[in-house]
Amino acid sequence: MPQLQQPKITPFLWFDADAEAAAEMYTAIFDNSRILDVSRAGGKVMSVTFEVSGQRLMALNGGPHYELSPAFSLFVSVETQEELDRTWDALLAGGGKPTRCGWLVDRYGLSWQVIPTALMRLMGDPDPGRAGRTVKAMMGMIKLDIAELERAAASS
């Protein structure tokens, strides 16, 4: 197999035994994604190198010694509610759990933030009232709703 050009920094994810299945799921959800390399030892997958929306990641089947936590998450920026809904549903498929404020944990234990660009724009509004109402609305949501965030910002 040809040698891969390795970026300087690559997020490295520790899974018990599902690195390849997780990489397959992530690359199926996002455009511009692919599995680059699967390393095996003793007939078992040891690690997977893959790209998700052009971001290189590595995953290891390291056993049950460590678990992923929300202290590390992947932030997904989306433009529309349709894209948000599609991404959210795909990441939750098969046993994921929504948390709050646009965060979820997929079935493999990886935390994700599915965040519309509108949220960042509304929270950065120079009018502190609009920004504050946006944050308050977001804090009450699990999956983010762009129309509701915009309504909250516009209310008085």
CATH of the domain at 103: 3.10.180.10
Q: What is the pLDDT of residue 6?
A: 74
- How many domains, in total, are found in the chain? 2
Q: Are 65 and 3 in contact (CB under 8 A)?
A: no
Q: Are 115 and 76 in contact (CB under 8 A)?
A: yes
- What's the pTM value of the predicted model, to 2 decimals? 0.92
* In a domain? residue 25: yes
Same domain? 119 vs 74: yes
150: domain range?
68-156
Q: Are 57 and 51 in contact (CB under 8 A)?
A: yes
Tens-digit pLDDT profile for the chain (156 aa)? 555 667 899 999 999 999 999 999 999 999 999 999 999 999 999 999 999 999 999 999 999 999 999 999 999 999 999 999 999 999 999 999 999 999 999 999 999 999 999 999 999 999 999 999 999 999 999 999 999 999 999 998
Same domain? 20 vs 53: yes
Q: Which residues in 97-124 are b (16+ Cβ under 10 Å) and which e?
A: eeeeebbbbbbbbbbbbbbbebbeebee
**How far lies 155's CA from each of 94, 131, 132, in Å?**
38, 11, 11
Same domain? 54 vs 75: no
Same domain? 79 vs 137: yes
What angle in degrees, to the nearest 10, is found between the helix axes of 128-139 and 146-154? 140
